[in-house]
């Protein structure tokens, strides 16, 4: 598997050096940026395949950087931040982040997240080349070739990881998928942080998918176990 070009956006030099040393040791190509404006400029000019983004930048908040990049690109963005509150995660995910690592983090977990993101990029590419297969369930439609989902004929504005979750549930419609099964397929691991992040992602996905999240039509929660996509009968 060819190693992607990674943009590291981090103004804390010791942490930036830790990340770049790790990337270099594992033969990743990388660029660095110390500010939000520099990150946007590097993304636009060098077209990296993955962005590792700190939220606490000296000029722009990282969430604003995500919003600006999302106006023209869907490249994977992995947030690396000391902010650990769910509200901070939700803000970043709502803005379009794909993943969220809380500092302090282990090098092994960072590398695992990068490997999963690489695999996800490869899967998305293969799905694009596979043809125009379409999944339909009630008023929900997923166009795998286009990488888009629609509800009542209107496109759902999903982040890449929300789309990946929706596809995984759709591919197993009617089956209960455990937290471990989902996190292993999405992140390649089943860390405690992964299950916590999964709950955040599912909450944001449901806001976009369900008219009444307390009475779900598409995604059912099995408390302490996982989630299931329900088969919806068109009336």
Q: How many angstroms separate the CA atoms of 136 and 180, rounded?
A: 26
Cβ(7)–Cβ(30) below 8 Å? yes
Per-residue pLDDT at 36 exceeds 80: yes
pLDDT at 80: 93
- Phi, psi angle pair for 99, to nearest 5°: -150, 165
Smallest CA-to-CA distance from 178 within 107, 142, 226 is with 226
pLDDT digits (tens, 9 = 90+) for 113-164: 898 888 777 766 665 555 447 888 999 999 887 889 999 999 999 988 899 9
What CA dihedral angle connects 152, 178, 214 and 135, to 10 degrees? 10
Provide the percentage of residues in the chain whose pLDDT is more than 90. Answer: 46
Q: Which domains does the chain have, with CATH numbers?
A: 5-124 (3.40.50.2300), 132-229 (1.10.10.10)
pLDDT digits (tens, 9 = 90+) for 58-96: 999 999 999 999 887 888 899 998 887 878 888 888 788
Which run of H or E residues covers position 5? strand 5-9
């Amino acid at each position: 598997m060819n190693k992607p070009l990674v943009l590291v956006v981090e103004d804390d030099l010791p942490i930036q050096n830790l990340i770049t040393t790790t990337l270099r040791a594992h033969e990743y190509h990388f660029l660095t940026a110390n500010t939000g404006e520099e990150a946007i400029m590097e993304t636009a000019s060098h077209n990296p395949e993955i962005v590792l983004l700190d939220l606490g930048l000296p000029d722009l908040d990282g969430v604003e950087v995500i919003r600006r990049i999302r106006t023209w690109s869907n490249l994977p963005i992995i947030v690396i931040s000391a902010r650990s509150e769910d509200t901070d995660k939700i803000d970043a995910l709502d803005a379009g982040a794909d993943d969220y690592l809380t500092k302090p983090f282990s090098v092994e977990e960072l590398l695992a997240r990068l490997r999963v993101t690489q695999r996800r990029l490869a899967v998305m590419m293969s799905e694009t080349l596979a043809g125009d297969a379409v999944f339909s369930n009630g008023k929900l439609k997923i166009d795998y070739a286009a990488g888009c989902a629609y509800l009542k004929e209107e496109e759902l504005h999903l982040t890449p990881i929300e789309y990946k979750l929706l596809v995984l549930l759709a591919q197993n419609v009617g089956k209960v998928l455990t937290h471990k099964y989902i996190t292993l397929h999405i992140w390649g691991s089943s860390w405690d942080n992964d299950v916590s992040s999964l709950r955040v992602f599912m909450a944001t996905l449901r806001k976009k998918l369900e008219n009444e999240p307390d009475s779900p039509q598409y995604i059912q929660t099995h408390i302490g176990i996982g989630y299931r996509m329900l088969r919806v009968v068109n009336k």
